[in-house]
Amino acid sequence: MQRIAYFGGTFDPVHNGHLSIARALIDLFGLDRFFFLPAFHAPHKPDRQPTSGYHRFAMLCLATSLDPKISVSTLELEKNEKRYTIDTLAELHAMHPGSRVFFVMGADSWTDIRTWREWESVLLSADHIVVTRPGYDISFDHVTDRVRERIVDLRLGRPAKLHDTSERRIFITNAIQYDASATELRLDLSDGHLDRKEDIPVEVAEYITKYNLYT
């Protein structure tokens, strides 16, 4: 059985924290493939219009071109409309019959999960990996008992072999200690100059400059 992970988000822009997550989870969970899944527009974030999907897709492709196990999915971008994760997960299972599909989210998405459409069904219909951030405390009080009983907190030092269970689980990991924020990077880039050069791949930074994004 193949293990395939999808990391949903706007990736506006993709940064080295995102890439660190992908590479670490491939090792930690023995993943065969890892896909970045850029959203056309996250429906639970209606307050900001993201950068064109074409640009975000191009930046992801540049950032992952040398990683053989990492690809970029156009599933949500091709729909050209706001998509809900519950619908996307159904499509992913249909695309990968016989495989184990993991959906990756950050700590901020976990905190805001109750704003997602059919959020409990989302968490029960696939395996999930929640990646914590340094200094960001997460809670389990906002989810139901049905969800809580599926949580496997790998931060407690339990062996990673727990992810071999055939039951769908929600794995919490702090294996990636990289603190970067796309929001902060957009602010950094708003004057046309990038100060935090260590946080964005060189190819992506050059693309941003060439196409005058974020200014």
Q: What is the pLDDT of residues 167-205, one digit of tens each?
A: 899 999 998 888 788 888 898 888 878 787 889 999 999
The model carries a pTM of 0.91
Residue 44's pLDDT band (cuts 50, 70, 90): very low
Query: What's the confidence (pLDDT) of residue 160?
Result: 55
The structural domains of the chain, with segments of one domain joined by +, span: 3-179
Cα–Cα distance measured from residue 180 to residue 81, given in angstroms and rounded to the nearest whole number: 28
How many of the other CB atoms lie within 10 Å of CB of 192? 10
- Alpha-helical segments (H) within the chain: 16-28, 53-64, 85-95, 107-111, 119-124, 145-148, 182-189, 202-210
Cα–Cα distance measured from residue 206 to residue 215, given in angstroms and rounded to the nearest whole number: 14
Residue 46's pLDDT band (cuts 50, 70, 90): low
DSSP annotation string for 4-61:
EEEEEE--TT--HHHHHHHHHHHHHTT-SEEEEEE-SS-TT-TT-PPS-HHHHHHHHH
Tokens 């527009």 locate to 41
Top CATH class of 3-179 equals alpha beta
Query: Does pLDDT of 208 surpass 60?
Result: yes
pLDDT mean across residues, the chain: 89
Cα–Cα distance measured from residue 8 to residue 38, given in angstroms and rounded to the nearest whole number: 6
Query: What's the confidence (pLDDT) of residue 197?
Result: 81
Reduce the DSSP state of residue 153 to 3 states and report it.
strand
Q: What is the pLDDT of residues 137-152, one digit of tens each?
A: 899 999 999 999 999 9
How many of the other CB atoms lie within 10 Å of CB of 53? 19
Query: Does pLDDT of 214 surpass 70?
Result: yes
Q: What is the mean pLDDT of residues 123-142?
A: 91
Which H helix or E strand runs over 171? strand 170-173
